[in-house]
Every structure is written in C-alpha cells, then in structure tokens.
Amino acid sequence: MSTTFRIGDLTIHRIVEMEIPFRPALAFIPGLTPELLAENRSWMRPHALDTEDRLIVCFQSYIVQTPHHTILVDSCIGNDKDRPQYPPFHNRTDDTWTRGLAAIGLTVADIDIVMCTHLHTDHVGWNTRLENGRWVPTFPNARYLFSAKELAYWMDRNAATPLAYIQDSVLPIVEAKRCDLVASDHVLDDHVRLLPTPGHTPDHLPCNSGAERRPFSPAT
C-alpha cells in the first residue's frame, strides 16, 4: 500500500508495512482514563481502536524525493528479524514493504539516503537484510543518517544488555562504514532539514515522517 502526494517540487510516498491492533489504549496513552476513552470510543472505532480497546497502529515509511535526493525516512520492521517479544515483528518473511516500494517505481538501489528518525526496532528493520547468514545494508547505494547522540545512547545500552535490533539493524551499518552521524540541527539540502524533538528517545529527529510524539520508551 502506498499513498503519494506532492508539495512544490517535493514528492512524498507513504509505504505501509503493517497496520494492526497493538496495545491497549489505557496502557499506552499516559493520563487516559476509562471515562475519557468511553467519551471518544464511538469516533475512534474501527479505524483507530478495535473492539478490545487496543489502539490500531500503522508501521510505515516515507520516501521523500527532492530535486537532489531520494530519501527513505525510517525503514519499518524488516524481514528475518528475531523479535520474539513482539510476535507480529518476529521472523517475518513478508513482501508487503518491498511491494510498496516497487509500486512507486523504485528499487532498493534508488535510495541514496536512509534517514532514521530514531533507533527503535520498528524504525530500523529494513536497514539490513540477511545474506548468506550475515546482515548487510539493504540499500546498496545509500548513506544512512543517524543522530550521533542517539547512536551513542543505544550503543551504550547494547553494550550493557545486548539489543537484537541494534545488533542486526544498526551495528552492521556502522561496521560497513555506511552511516553519517549528524547533529539535531542538520541541514541536508535546501529542501530537507532535521528538527530536534527529544523525549520519545534521547535525540528523536522528525524528518517529514509523521513520527510519533510519545514519552520515551525503549520498546517501540
């Protein structure tokens, strides 16, 4: 599934990998009360809330095409990733995301920048793919942009307690010398710049991604 829209000389494509009931609304939204949920349940169903009051969450990427670059903003969940704690993410062998890319006339070779707004499991999955038992960069011609502060934080966390998604989707990019570390005020070109919104993670960086604004949690 993809949706395309244009703003001036920018073309933006939305690629949806998965849209599923994810977590109970009362557990997910700080400050939400049963009474407030009841007041809003009628308009939230069925598109934002299921019959068990779980929020329906969309896991998606954006492709931003400027006159200078083809940019992938966040690489979703990916395939073959060991995620037993998140069954919908676990060992996927699904072509929904790659079909979405093909539907807009692109291949992995057409991406020249991968912009990771933050380094959570559902935003870095397609950074890498499994090839002959090794994790290799999915996008052969791309440079990957990571926040230097964000990467340092997760490298420290991974050193203390190994994190599967850092090991299979972030470290292989670093080891392949394919990442560029940027600050939160980085300007890519005259069309794209980063905007710091720390909180969800230490150095969350929206880049026209529709990225969530939630309190920091290492799990999402």
pLDDT single digits (tens) 60-105 = 999 999 999 999 999 999 999 999 999 999 999 999 999 999 999 9
Domain boundaries, the chain: 2-17+60-182
pLDDT tens-place string over residues 107-122: 999 999 999 998 999 9
Candidate CATH numbers 3.60.15.10, 3.30.70.360, 3.30.450.20, 3.40.50.300; the one for domain 2-17+60-182: 3.60.15.10
User: Does position 123 have pLDDT exceeding 90, yes or no?
Assistant: yes
pLDDT tens-place string over residues 10-40: 999 999 999 999 899 999 999 999 999 999 9
Using alpha carbons only, give the angle 28, 32, 36 rounded to the nearest 5 degrees.
Answer: 135
Tell me the two tokens of residue 95: 């072509």
Q: What is the pTM of this model?
A: 0.86
Residue 62, C-beta contacts closer than 8 angstroms, at least 6 positions apart: 12, 13, 14, 15, 72, 73, 74, 208, 209, 210
